[in-house]
Structure 1
C-alpha cells in the first residue's frame, strides 16, 4: 500500500481538529458559560453575553472555514478515484461545518437582535442597578432570551461536531 501524501494527512488533521474545536467552542457557551451568565442580574448578563458573542463571531466562522477548506480539498483530491465515497463524506463534512453561518443568520439572528437591543436598553444602568423587566411578554426578558439563545446555539454547535465525526470516519476507512 502506497503511503498517503503529506498534503492529504495535513488536510485530514486540520479538517477534523478545526471542526471539533469549533464545535467545542460553540457548545461550551451553551452548557458552561450561559448557565453562569444567567446567575447575574440582567444588565451584567447581557454584557457578558455580548462579550462572548463578539469573540465567537470572529473565531468560530474562521475556524469553521479553515476546516471546510480542508475537507473540500480532500473531497476534490479523492473525487473520481476508488475513494469516491470518502470524497462525498468529506464534502458533507465541509458543508456541515460551514452550516453554522446560514444557521446563525437565519435561525439565531432574531434572538441576537433582541439581546443586542437589551444591551442598549441596559447600557446606562450601573452594575448594582436592577433593570425592570416586569410586564414583558413571555420569552422577552433578558434571561429568557439568553436561555433561548443557548438552546439555539447548542443546535448550531452540532453541525461542526457531525462534520468532525464524518471527517474522522472518512479518514479511518
Structure 2
C-alpha cells in the first residue's frame, strides 16, 4: 500500500489548484463580464471605467499568481527531492515537470501583461486620461482597443487556467 502524502504537500496542492483556477476565472471575468457591460457607455466613460477595472486587477492578480507560482514551485522541489530520496512523496516521475510547468504558466500573466498587452493598455490609459475636447473623436478607436484588449485578456486568463489543469494532472498522477 502506498504511503499517504504529508499534510503540507496536500495543503500546497489545494492552494496551487485553488489559486490557479480562481485566478483564471478572475481574469476571465474581466473579459466575460466587464468588457461587454462597458459597451453601453460613451467612449470616454468606457476608457475611464476600463482603467478603474484595470487598477483593481493590477492590485490583486499578480499576488495570487505569485502565491500559486511559489506553491507549484515548492511542490516541484518536493517532487525532485522525493525521487532522490526514494520517498513516495508524489505520485509519478512527471511531477517535477508538471508542477514546474504550472508555476511558469500561472506567473506568466505578469510578463504577458507587461510585454504583449502593454501597447493596448497604454492606448486605453491615454484615452481614459484624455481631455473632454477629445471625447468625440475617440469612439471608434476605444471600441477597437476594447475588442483587442478583450481577446488579449482571454489569452492571459488561459495561462493560469492551463496551469491549473497541468497542476491537477500532477496532483492526480497523470
TM-score under structure 1 length normalisation: 0.89
Q: What SS is found at the alignment partner of 1:25?
A: helix
- For residues 69 and 10 of structure 1, what CA distance do their matches in structure 2 show? 13
Whose helix proportion is higher, 1 or 2? 2
Unaligned runs of at least 5 residues, structure 2: 87-91
Say whether the 8 Å CA contact 2:48–2:129 is kept in structure 1. Answer: no
CA RMSD, Structure 1 to Structure 2 (Å): 1.8
Q: Which residue of 2 aligns with 1:11?
A: 12
Q: Which residue of 1 aligns with 2:162?
A: 162
The number of aligned residues is 164
Q: Which residue of 2 aligns with 1:131?
A: 135
- For residues 147 and 31 of structure 1, what CA distance do their matches in structure 2 show? 12
Q: CA deviation at 1:46?
A: 1.1
Q: CA deviation at 1:70?
A: 0.5
Q: CA deviation at 1:62?
A: 0.5
- For residues 77 and 65 of structure 1, what CA distance do their matches in structure 2 show? 18
Query: Is 1:57 matched with 2:72?
Result: no
Q: What SS is found at the alignment partner of 1:133?
A: helix
TM-score under structure 2 length normalisation: 0.89
Unaligned runs of at least 5 residues, structure 1: none
- For residues 99 and 156 of structure 1, what CA distance do their matches in structure 2 show? 8
Q: Which residue of 1 aligns with 2:106?
A: 97
